[in-house]
């Protein structure tokens, strides 16, 4: 499949950040672009990060929980038996 549109995805990690993959501009509250050096970044949603808008792992320290979320892949082991971040391959970019 060929497309001229940039691709991007956002994955909500159980009890953790939002993983943003792809060509997306992240803006700070003042409208300026957030510095970004990687195509995949983790955005804090617990509020405890010292490097907002990015995750610095503080969600683990404060015990951030997202109890309302269901596993994206029920066939996978439950949380606690796999790494916190989704390790599925990144979506393929357009050719």
Q: Write out the E strands in the chain.
A: 8-12, 18-22, 40-43
Return the half-sphere exposure (C-beta side, CA atoms, 13 A cut-off) of residue 84. 15
What DSSP state is assigned to residue 7?
-
- Residue 1 CA to residue 39 CA, distance in Å, equals 21
Please identify, using beta-carbon distances, which residue of 24 and 48 lies nearer to ligand FES.
48
Binding mask 21-60 toward ligand FES (x if CB under 6 A, else -) reads: -----------------------xxx-xx-----xxxxx-
Regarding 17 and contact with ligand FES (CB under 6 A), the answer is yes
Please identify, using beta-carbon distances, which residue of 21 and 45 lies nearer to ligand FES.
45
Site for ligand FES in 65-94 (CB under 6 A): none
């Amino acid at each position: 499949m060929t497309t001229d549109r940039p691709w991007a995805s956002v994955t909500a990690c159980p009890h953790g950040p939002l993983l943003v993959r792809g060509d997306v501009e992240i803006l700070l509250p003042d409208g300026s672009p957030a510095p970004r050096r990687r195509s995949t970044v983790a955005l804090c949603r617990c509020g405890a990060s010292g490097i907002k808008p990015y995750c610095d792992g503080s969600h683990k320290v404060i015990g951030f929980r997202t109890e309302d979320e269901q596993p994206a892949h029920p066939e996978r082991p439950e949380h606690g038996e796999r790494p916190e971040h989704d390790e599925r391959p990144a979506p393929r970019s357009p050719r």
